[in-house]
Every structure is written in C-alpha cells, then in structure tokens.
C-alpha cells in the first residue's frame, strides 16, 4: 500500500488549478462503482477524498509516462549540444557504428566519399617532379631536418606534390627513409589540421541552440564526406577525427617500400587503396578475373586525404574508430601502437600486417612525430617549391 500525505484541501486546490470540475470527479467515481447520494454525505465525502487521491496519483504517474519520451529526447539533445559530450556510452557507440556502417555499404559509394579528393584532378597539369638531390638541397637550405623535429616538434610547411624517381636509387636505407618521412610528414600534419579544424567547428555548431543556413549547409556537406546517413551527429563526431601521424607514416612506408613502389611513383598512391571505378593502376601479377585496381592520384596530398577518409568511413575500420573514440573519452592520446591493432583488415595478412606496422613504428621511433606541429606557411618557403 502506498501511503501519502495528500490532504483534501490540496486535492481540491489541484482540481481547481487544473480546471477539473466536480462533474468530472463524480463521473470518475461512478465509473469506479461509487454511488453518490445526498443522504449519505459523510460516506460520499470520504469516497470522494479516497478516490480523488487515487485519481491524482494515477494522473501523476500517467503524466510521467507521457512526458518521459520528451524528457529522454531533451536529455539526448543536451548531450549532443554539451561541450563535454564525447561518445560516452561504449554500448551505444558500438550500435551507432554498426548501424551506420551497414547503411554506408548499401547507400553510398566512393564517388560521394571522395568528391573533394577527386577535385585534385582538376588542378593544372604543370606539377614538376623534383630530383632527390634538389629536394635534399631544399631541405638543407631551409634547415628542415628530422633531428630538430624530434626535439622541438616543429615542421616546416614544405608541400611537395610528387616523390622523386631517384628515391629508389638511394642505397643508404636510413637516408632513403629520412627523405621519405620529410616529404610526407608536412602532408600528413596538414590533413590532420584540416580534420582538427572541422572537428572544432562541429563542436561549436553543436553547442549553439540555433544554426545559420551556412552552418547547416556545412554540416550537410560533412555528412556527405563522411558517409553519414540520416544526419546522425554522434556518428559524424566519431568519424571526424585525426589519424595518428606515426601510424600514417608506418602504413605509407609499408605500402610503398619507403616510397619506392610503382604505385607511389606512377600514381602517387601512398597507401595502396583499391578501387573498382576503372581509374587506377592494375597490380602486376593480378588474377585475370580480378577487377580491382590501386587508386591513383594527381598529387601526394590527395592520397593522404583519401587514406584518412578511408579509415574514417569504411566499415572494415569501425573497430579502429571505436577504439579511437574510447581514447578520446578517457582523455588519452591517440596511441598508434594501440590503434594499429585494429587495422588487421587493411591487408590480407591480418594480424601479421599489424605486427609489421608496430615494428616499423618502434624501430624508427615514429611516435616522436605524433606531437609535431606544422609551422605557418611563409612566402619565402613557398617560393622555393
């Protein structure tokens, strides 16, 4: 039995406030089997008192159930617009990833995901392939070296568009590795900076109660870029995030043999991404019935962007994105040695591929570059390129 201290005057006050007439109370009592007679006023008043309490309690319970969906929806909105919101529930996170990735596979294709990347194809065809010697002299004249970067974490904004053909002729493996890292490091940081800037803008938009037409248009474009259906903001936040620099370098090194592969030199393909669209380089020795090709790009920058977009959208890497989101929630760095464990689907060798990546990261101390920052561009540096 539920005991309460609701008095008759309080009940009457509640009914008056909510415009509930005595006729409605009597109708309710009659439906419940109570007989209202003038000659038995004492019993009648008691019945009204008892049943009125029941009616009031029932009304409160029903009201709570009625507004609970509104409260739940309001709570969700507060979470979305909260500055502290960061993919909080692991179970919900997994569900979001699975649902959105399934829809991505059926509703979208690389045409939509790589629209902005394919725009690089419209660039003028006047890119010049510098020789390895010229590039090394450029780096030397601008004091751009990996030793200083490991120490002060500052990278010169030198963006080269093509790898030098002579890189495969550099016999000293350490010099070849260093040159390769020097060329792709600014490109990787630049793309991460784009994502970081977009992520900050996304959070600012989510923390506003009302968005402008420009902001809504920007969001619509990002949903498209990241393959997010139904305008799901939680999924967009999970996907729109950086990829560790050390892991990116390791994958580029593994996929291109430190910049010496045919795909890297002929197609600016640093990460060996496959395509079925017809545009690409066909692997030598591929089966006759194989229809896939390795994506080719006009410049190296496009390859880095496509790689990041691939990890941030493809269903094969949802575990990677989930692990990254958990690190964010825990306030930890994006550790490449942790996150690389979820790249076993990147290559047919699976776990062996992961071991090779982690070995490359450790042996070459690539985590030294994870905190590296790109210096602002200068006219002096740009004129040298």
For residues 292 and 274, the answer to whether their CB atoms sit within 8 Å is: yes
Run means of pLDDT, 10 residues per run, the chain, 385 residues? 47 53 56 49 49 49 42 38 32 39 46 66 69 96 96 94 95 97 98 96 92 94 92 94 98 97 92 70 60 81 94 96 97 97 95 98 98 76 42
Q: Quick one: DSSP state of residue 331?
A: T
For residues 4 and 55, the answer to whether their CB atoms sit within 8 Å is: no
Q: What are 7's strand-pairing partners?
A: none
**53: burial class by Cβ within 10 Å (0-12, 13-18, 19+)?**
middle
- At CA 38, angle to CA 32 and CA 39, rounded to 5? 110
Render the burial of 129-163: b for 16+ CB within 10 Å, e for the rest: ebebeebbebbeeeebebeebeeeeebbbbbbbbb
Measured between alpha carbons, how far is residue 296 from residues 99, 283, 375 in Å? Answer: 31, 12, 29
- Taking alpha carbons only, the member of 243, 274, 188, 195 closest to residue 180 is 188
Under DSSP, is residue 374 helix (H, G, I), strand (E, B) or coil? strand
- Taking alpha carbons only, the member of 121, 129, 103 closest to residue 277 is 121
Q: Hey, what domains does the chain have and what are their CATH numbers?
A: 8-77 (no CATH), 87-382 (1.10.530.10)
Render the burial of 67-101: b for 16+ CB within 10 Å, e for the rest: eeeeeeeeeeeebeeeeebbbeeeeebeebbeebb
For residues 352 and 383, the answer to whether their CB atoms sit within 8 Å is: no
Instruction: Give pLDDT, residue 156.
Output: 94
**What is the C-alpha to C-alpha distance for residues 48 and 173, in angstroms, rounded to an integer?**
94
Under DSSP, is residue 179 helix (H, G, I), strand (E, B) or coil? helix
- Size (the chain), residues: 385
For residues 361 and 340, the answer to whether their CB atoms sit within 8 Å is: yes
Q: What are 294's strand-pairing partners?
A: 274, 281
Instruction: Give pLDDT, residue 278.
Output: 58
């Amino acid at each position: 039995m539920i005991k309460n201290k609701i008095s008759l005057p309080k009940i009457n006050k509640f009914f008056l406030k909510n415009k509930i007439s005595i006729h409605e109370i009597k109708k309710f009592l009659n439906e419940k089997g109570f007989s209202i007679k003038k000659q038995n006023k004492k019993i009648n008043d008691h019945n009204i008192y008892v049943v009125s309490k029941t009616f009031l309690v029932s009304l409160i319970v029903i009201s709570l159930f009625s507004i609970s969906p509104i409260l739940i929806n309001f709570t969700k909105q507060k979470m979305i617009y909260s500055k502290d919101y960061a993919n909080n529930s692991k179970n919900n996170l997994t569900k979001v990833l699975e649902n959105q990735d399934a829809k991505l596979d059926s509703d979208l294709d690389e045409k939509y995901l790589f629209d902005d990347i394919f725009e690089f194809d419209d660039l003028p065809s006047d890119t010049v392939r510098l020789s390895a010697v010229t590039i090394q002299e450029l780096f030397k004249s601008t004091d751009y070296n990996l030793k200083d970067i490991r120490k002060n974490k500052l990278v010169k904004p030198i963006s080269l568009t093509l790898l030098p053909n002579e890189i495969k002729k550099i016999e000293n493996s350490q010099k070849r590795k260093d040159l390769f890292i020097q060329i792709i490091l600014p490109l990787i940081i630049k793309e991460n900076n784009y994502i970081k800037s977009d992520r900050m803008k996304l959070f600012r938009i989510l923390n506003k109660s009302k968005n402008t037409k420009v902001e809504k248009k920007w969001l619509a474009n990002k949903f498209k870029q990241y393959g997010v259906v139904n305008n799901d903001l939680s999924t967009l936040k999970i996907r729109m995030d950086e990829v560790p620099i050390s892991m990116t370098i390791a994958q580029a090194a593994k996929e291109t043999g430190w910049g010496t592969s045919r795909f890297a030199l002929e197609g600016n393909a640093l990460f060996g991404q496959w395509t079925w669209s017809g545009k690409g380089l066909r692997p030598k020795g591929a089966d006759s019935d194989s229809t896939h090709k390795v994506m080719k790009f006009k410049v190296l920058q496009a390859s880095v962007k496509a790689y990041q977009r691939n990890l941030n959208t493809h269903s094969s890497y949802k575990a990677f994105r989930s692990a990254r989101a958990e690190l964010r929630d825990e306030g930890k760095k994006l550790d490449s040695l942790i996150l690389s464990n979820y790249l076993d689907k990147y290559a047919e060798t699976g776990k062996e591929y992961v071991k090779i990546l982690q070995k490359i990261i450790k042996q070459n101390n690539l985590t030294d570059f994870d905190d590296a920052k790109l210096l602002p561009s200068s006219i002096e540096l740009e004129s040298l390129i």
